[in-house]
Structure 1
Amino acid sequence: MSKTLLYGATKIDETNSAYAPIDSLAAFQWRNRVFILFADRDNARSARQENQLLADRSALDERDMVVLKVSGGKVRALFGAADSLDGEAIRHDLEGPEAGEFAGYLLGKDGTVKLKLSEPITNRELFAIIDSMPMRAAETLKSDK
């Protein structure tokens, strides 16, 4: 399984485009974490990822998640509210895969890419990554008070 975790860097070069907010998804910045699922041609991996994510809607809601599926140039919200999004703009901004290729991207609330996937990820792995982020830790502390 290929995963690229961009979050754990000790020093971030703010001029590096990998750490710049994604323009086409700016409406979610500082409000939601966004998981973008690019559908594969036969839909096997994307269907597996979709089913995995939607199996725990309460955990998605608790983490302020929006889940989007990009298929060709179309975007469909699988979880959370989203409208008027351009799949091709998202694909371009994320330097995403060609149409028909599977990929998953996790964007933090700051609008930057935190994780890139070329294979489906389990909810346990995904939520562990999210829960290790400083902003999520602060949210958890705030809700415990």
Structure 2
Amino acid sequence: MKQILIVISLLIASTTNGFAMDSLAELKWNKRILVLFAEDGSSRLKQQVDLLKSRAPEMEERDMLVLQVSETDVKSVYGEAPRLDAAALRAEAGIAGSDFTAVLIGKDGGEKLRSKDVLKEKDLFDLIDSMPMRRAGQK
């Protein structure tokens, strides 16, 4: 009986999308996604991108994808991404306007962090390294 309950629980969990941003659902279980909402000229965006680009090996090790989402366009800052719709991502994240906002989505599809401030790479990597899937992958 216990095994049947476990199987049913797993089936229910696997059929529930539960993704923070449905547009990114095809990346579930494969990538941790840092979405940077900002316009091209944003000084905070430039600062964030510069910090992250210098840490490519660490991002690769953590299976990361970094996206910049402007009002009308989605660009990959790090990693390969499917074709995405900027308006849909903004709506799903509840982001309007051009203020800088960073949103981290875990491999499980859940939102792990949202910040209006530039993320220090050490803080970002420490957060990711504390996640259960990351810890499990390091064993």
TM-score (norm 1): 0.80
Per the alignment, residue 30 of structure 1 pairs with: 29
Per the alignment, residue 89 of structure 1 pairs with: 88
Q: Larger helix proportion, structure 1 or 2? A: 2
Per the alignment, residue 108 of structure 2 pairs with: 110
3-state SS of paired residue (1:72): coil
3-state SS of paired residue (1:36): strand
Q: Tell me, in whole angstroms, the C-alpha distance in 2 between the residues paired with 1:77 and 1:50.
A: 11
Q: Tell me, in whole angstroms, the C-alpha distance in 2 between the residues paired with 1:140 and 1:95.
A: 33
TM-score (norm 2): 0.83
* 8 Å CA contact retained: 2:35, 2:67: yes
Per the alignment, residue 133 of structure 2 pairs with: 135
Identity %: 37
- Cα RMSD (Å) of the superposition? 1.5
Q: Tell me, in whole angstroms, the C-alpha distance in 2 between the residues paired with 1:52 and 1:40.
A: 17
Which ranges of structure 1 fall in alignment gaps of 5 or more residues?
1-19
* 8 Å CA contact retained: 2:39, 2:71: no
* 8 Å CA contact retained: 2:105, 2:111: yes
* 8 Å CA contact retained: 1:31, 1:64: yes
> Quick one: structure 1 residues 131 and 121, their matched pair in 2 at CA, closer, same or farther if it must change by over 3 Å?
same
Per the alignment, residue 122 of structure 1 pairs with: 120
Per-residue deviation at 1:69?
0.2
Moved over 3 A (4+): none
Which ranges of structure 2 fall in alignment gaps of 5 or more residues?
1-17
